[in-house]
Chains A and B, each alone.
Chain A
Amino acid sequence: MQTIHRILIAAIFTLCMQSSMLARAQGMVEVQTVQRLGSANADDVKRAIGEIARADPGLSLPLLEAFSAGKLGIDEQATAWIQDSGVLTRATDGVPGKASGHVRTILADNQTRRHLDEAISRLRLRSPNPAIRRAASAEIAHHPEPESVDILRELIGHEPDLQAREQMRLAIAKSDIQSNDREKRLAAARVIGESGDISMREPLAALLLPGEGCERDPAVKKAIRSAVSAMEWQELKIRTLANLIYGLSLGSVLLLAALGLAITFGLMKVINMAHGEMLMLGAYSTYLSQTAFVKYAPRWLGLYLVVAVPLAFMLTAALGLLLERLVVRRLYGRPLETLLATWGLSLILIQATRTMFGAQNVTVASPEWLAGGWELMPTVVIPYSRVLVLGFTCVVVSFVWYILQRTSLGLKLRAVTQNREMAASLGINTERIDAWTFALGSGVAGLGGVALSQLGNVGPELGQQHIIDSFMVVVLGGVGNIVGSIVGAIGLGVAAKFLEPAAGAVLGKIAILVAIILFIQWRPQGLFALKGRAQES
């Protein structure tokens, strides 16, 4: 079956190509037409796009794509060029060459680009690659224009790909729902209902309301009504699922930001106000790694994150070790002094960063492979960066868990946490364990910083935005317990996301803060309390 399809597509495509070859004499693109793309008159630009779209697709498609991407320019000799990573191709005949003089880029504005994208999608409908046709028909199905729908009607009979055909049917149905023909409207309502495209719920529901352009035919009305109610149910399911996923994703960010603190504050009881700055330095390490790649290995730029992870860990862990040796260890058992001292440290680190890198945020560009998202369902898209953060959180949590549970450092650490005197009398060098633990906590915070750099700004103030949330997570989860922090973070994330649609982001945040304060009043030890001797001290 597959092979037959493929042969069919190939045959259709060659036919198309041949007919366009024949038409090549008229299919040429005039340079004057390309020049008109830069005209200030929007209608003129539109007409020029139309003329180019009618030319040989082997020429017009790359030309329009280049225009859309801002890669089309005209040199001083009025020759149009497509600029692609330093290589110049003459736009009018596709021959590589050299421009004479400065190439002035022709810029498209949003209106033009909207028109242009539509034209490009129409051309792509005839591509031999089913994935491209699928994407193109999905693009058109978004906001089908009459001109595109006519083409779809012509092509849908020949389309071998099931998914592409479905998108085409949906696009045609969206246009047919306004048709004068009752049968067409009825069929369209059914198609839209089956598609589960919840973005159509509102326009369909609008047709049921009395007023201009409303639906009068009872059968069609019934079909629309059932489509709308199916969509409402669908939408409720999607919203719930989306909130759950967004909550998990927010929770993973909270957890990653708080995990370092769960070690330094949770296990060691050091009120570590400089935790946020460890996050910040982790993010700056990512920036450093990116800068180094740009300078020395631009070809491997996409991999800078892979280097940033160990770099951030080592840098912040080393700094953590230093801080512990110099400052924190002198203040054990004096929580208030520790609080002030670490707060001072945090200010020093912020100002030092500001002096070194400037007060401005620095650019950390997400690698190409992280752009975009994964469309779980219509209107629910999970950005790849969030998926990565979720995965990264799992990795970091397992890493911490492994160290705590499966290494000798972890064993000693837990012993010291539970009963320092006893551990010391058994021959454990508690001072050294403290230093390593603090370094581990700082290093894990650095890892959190790498992830945060992919989601937001990287600037000297980065840590300040996360310190409160981090403390919230650790206190809520129960001091001294990593599992508590995990549950606390995920719980907070999900709660925030379920509250947000109802209460708005501002009120939601306040509600959560109040809820946590009440909770801590009621249960000061947090969700998961340590039992035994550690609790009493």
Chain B
Amino acid sequence: MNLGQITLAVLFAGASFACKGPGAENAEPKASATTEALAAPVPNKQDNTGPIKVGILHSLSGTMAISETSLKDVALMTIESINKKGGVLGRKLEPIVVDPASNWPLFAEKSRELIQKNVAVVFGCWTSVSRKSVLPVFEELNGLLFYPVQYEGEESSRNVFYTGAAPNQQAIPAVEYLMSAAGGGAKRWVLLGTDYVYPRTTNKILRYFLKEKGVAEEDILEKYTPFGHTDYQTIVADIKKFAAAKRTAVVSTINGDSNVPFYKELGNQGLKATDVPVVAFSVGEEELRGIDTKPLQGHLAAWNYFMSIDTPENAKFIEEWKAYVKANNLPDADKRVTNDPMEATYIGIKMWAQAAEQAGTTDINAVRQAVAGQSLKAPSGFEIVMDGKNHHLHKPVYIGEIQGNGQFHIVWKTEGPVRAEPWSRYVPESKSKVADWSFPWLCGNCEAAKHQTF
């Protein structure tokens, strides 16, 4: 066999292997043929004794393991603490942890597996593509998913509760801040992201938003890089040139691993946060843990929670986490931090438990009704409410500057929690869409109510 042919084959194999990373956005979640027989909703066997099964669907291996492992840990911590207080409805919670290995079709298979094991609820997913791939499964089998990560919006499912931020709870306030005098009064915008669904959609919304605020087309520079991109020389040089004429801010939706080379290049080419501030939506305490924060100092991140929030509730949350990490001997125990998606996971589990108590059953339809309107005092110190209609949390927004110790110095925050708008009012095709799961709408994506009132 010709070596050239083999190497070509290797290249292709390698390329497709790499593309199986978060790049394979539009890969249809493969509903296997065997599922035809199971298409009918699985009867939810009411087993009123014994523990309540709860699914945890986070990647523990592969590229997303970096971020998702902590979510699994914090979920187990919350479940343990609920069990210590007697569980839910007098029954213990039994976590079932599965590892979808950062493989999007596997997310769909694993979620099917969980629902067929009769779990009462699933907490999981990180990337938007993983959520998109499990969505049809949850809708088909009438499961219940709590999704804890900020995302791009333009979605609302009857079977999903979103405990992370919608764009108007993160991206829009961050841009508004940078526009304001306090944030530097930026006139020009660089929208920089990794090439996949979350950055593309967020930037689309931001573009409409900026235009509405009177920013001209030539003052917006939109750039994308492939996954795992490490060479930011040209892009930073372009930003530098673009920023020379007017006050400029960069909105970064760069995915995890590429952030380090990007910030390093910024620092090395002499672009300081005071000249061109970069606000990132996916850089948090956990991501800062593995990197040298020197080149990042002064750059910004927008979240609904920071570990540095100074409230008694947060102190308690952090203390509980540190104790859990230590007791369970997790790796790097002394360096573990809390972050926004962890707080969102914590809130999600607590809310589900409250709702199940209130409903008096773990039946999915009953619990879903009860989750809407639940409230609890979150680590951020606010009374956080699950919206009665759109399955999203009302969340406060914080903007923090990165400090040398990997923590955030909070420079701006909203007065109180902000209601989520899953359908952005700035995007023409979605502004008249309504996400409302109460009567008479019963719809996550329509312009007219589905049901007539009686």
Contact = CB atoms under 8 A, between A and B. Distances in A.
A70 B404 contact: yes
Contact of A479 (B3, B260, B265, B403): B3
A361 B66 contact: yes
A326 interface: no
22 contacts: A110-B411, A117-B274, A143-B275, A206-B245, A242-B237, A249-B233, A250-B233, A253-B231, A363-B291, A363-B292, A372-B267, A459-B66, A461-B257, A464-B228, A468-B15, A471-B7, A474-B7, A501-B234, A505-B224, A505-B229, A505-B234, A509-B226
Interface in B1-57: 1-8, 10-11, 14-15, 18
Contacts of A249: 233
Contact of A339 (B10, B235, B269, B270): B10
B230 A465 contact: yes
B100 interface: no
Given A364-B292, A506-B195, A517-B8, A109 B237 contact: no
A243 interface: yes
A198 B295 CA distance: 26
Contact of B182 (A42, A273, A471): A42
A110 B274 contact: yes
Nearest to B225: A505
Contacts of B273: 110, 113
Contacts of A143: 275
Interface in A351-371: 351, 354, 358-366, 371
A359 B332 CA distance: 11
Contact of B298 (A113, A253, A271, A467): A113
Contacts of B231: 246, 250, 253, 496
A269 B241 CA distance: 46
Contacts of A472: 11
B403 A70 contact: yes
Q: Which of A117, A457, A525 has the most CB of B within 10 A?
A: A457
A430 interface: no
B431 interface: no
A198 B264 CA distance: 24
A249 B8 CA distance: 26
Interface in A425-479: 455-457, 459, 461, 464-465, 467-468, 471-472, 474-475, 479
B184 interface: yes
A98 B5 CA distance: 73
Interface in B210-255: 223-226, 228-231, 233-235, 237-238, 240-241, 244-245
Contacts of A206: 245
A371 B294 contact: yes
A465 B228 contact: yes
A110 B182 CA distance: 9
B269 A373 contact: yes
B268 interface: yes
Interface stretch (A148-156, A217-225, A381-389, A413-421): A381-389
Given A365-B294, A456-B261, A457-B257, 6 more contacts: A109-B401, A113-B273, A203-B245, A372-B267, A472-B11, A475-B7
A372 B4 contact: no
Contacts of B5: 524
A366 B4 CA distance: 39
Given A242-B237, A381-B269, A525-B4, A359 B11 contact: no
Interface in B401-445: 401, 403-404, 409, 411
Contacts of B228: 464-465
**Interface residue tally of chain A, by bracket?**
35 or more
Interface of B: 1-8, 10-11, 14-15, 18, 61, 63, 65-66, 69, 182-184, 195, 223-226, 228-231, 233-235, 237-238, 240-241, 244-245, 257, 260-261, 264-265, 267-270, 273-275, 277, 289-292, 294-295, 298, 300, 331-332, 401, 403-404, 409, 411
Contacts of B18: 464, 468
A351 B393 CA distance: 37
Q: Which of A364, A471, A505, A513 has the most CB of B within 10 A?
A: A505
B72 to A, nearest CB: 11
Nearest to A42: B182
A504 interface: yes
B244 A479 contact: no
Contact of B226 (A381, A464, A505): A505
Interface of A: 42, 70, 107, 109-111, 113-114, 117, 142-143, 198-200, 202-203, 206, 242-243, 246, 249-250, 253, 265, 269, 271, 273, 335-336, 339, 351, 354, 358-366, 371-373, 375, 379-381, 383-386, 455-457, 459, 461, 464-465, 467-468, 471-472, 474-475, 479, 496-497, 500-501, 504-506, 509, 513, 517, 520, 524-526
A304 to B, nearest CB: 13
Contacts of B401: 109-110
B438 to A, nearest CB: 40
| 8 pairs of A and B residues whose beta carbons are closest in the complex | A199-B244, A361-B290, A383-B268, A524-B4, A202-B245, A365-B292, A114-B274, A359-B65
Given A249-B233, A363-B290, A468-B14, A520 B225 contact: no
Contact of B8 (A364, A459, A475, A504): A475
Nearest to B222: A504
Contacts of B292: 363-366
A457 B291 contact: yes
Contacts of B269: 373, 381, 383
Contacts of A524: 2, 4-5
A435 to B, nearest CB: 21
A416 B244 CA distance: 58
Q: Which of B261, B268, B292 has the most CB of A within 10 A?
A: B268
A113 B274 contact: yes
B325 to A, nearest CB: 13
Contacts of B240: 379
Q: Which of B234, B291, B295 has the most CB of A within 10 A?
A: B234
Nearest to B411: A109
A149 to B, nearest CB: 18
Contacts of B275: 142-143
A386 B237 CA distance: 15
Contact of A111 (B61, B183, B237, B244): B183
Nearest to B260: A457
Contacts of B3: 269, 335, 479
A501 B236 CA distance: 11
A143 B237 CA distance: 18
B234 A246 contact: yes
A246 B265 CA distance: 12
Nearest to B68: A359
A358 B14 CA distance: 25
Q: Which of B8, B63, B231, B267 has the most CB of A within 10 A?
A: B231
Contacts of A474: 7
Q: Which of B7, B65, B267 has the most CB of A within 10 A?
A: B7
B288 to A, nearest CB: 10
Q: Which of A339, A464, A465 has the most CB of B within 10 A?
A: A465
A336 B6 CA distance: 8
A373 B261 CA distance: 15
A505 B289 CA distance: 28
Given A271-B6, A520-B8, A467 B270 contact: no
B274 A459 contact: no
Given A109-B409, A359-B65, A457-B291, A384 B195 contact: no
Contacts of B223: 504-505
A121 B133 CA distance: 54
Contact of A335 (B1, B291, B332): B1
Contacts of B274: 110, 113-114, 117
Contacts of A42: 182
A505 B192 CA distance: 11
A271 B290 CA distance: 32
Given A361-B291, A517-B8, A524-B5, A506 B14 contact: no
A525 B240 CA distance: 42
